[in-house]
Amino acid sequence: MFYVYVLYSKKHNRKYTGMTVDIAQRLKEHNTKQNKSTKAYVPWKVIFKEAFKTRIEARAREKYLKSGVGREFIKSLLF
């Protein structure tokens, strides 16, 4: 399975959208500053996740969530 996830850093009011096969491991990597683009904004928590059978489906959803409409959807999860 492939997962699309959205992380949120309440301390910095930041969101991050990504894709992985292991959400728990990926969250650990983000929170231990192993990811260059997210290390300045720890701690992170998962606020949204979806599972897909193929990498292609997951990548399409990730791209959607990074679009303007997708960002509005993510914003609605926070409030």
Domain boundaries, the chain: 2-78
pLDDT for position 79: 67
Model-level pTM? 0.91
Which segments in the chain show pLDDT lower than 70?
79
Torsion of CA 47, 57, 70, 66, to 10 degrees: 90
pLDDT for position 77: 78
CATH class belonging to 2-78: alpha beta
Beta pairing partners, 30: none
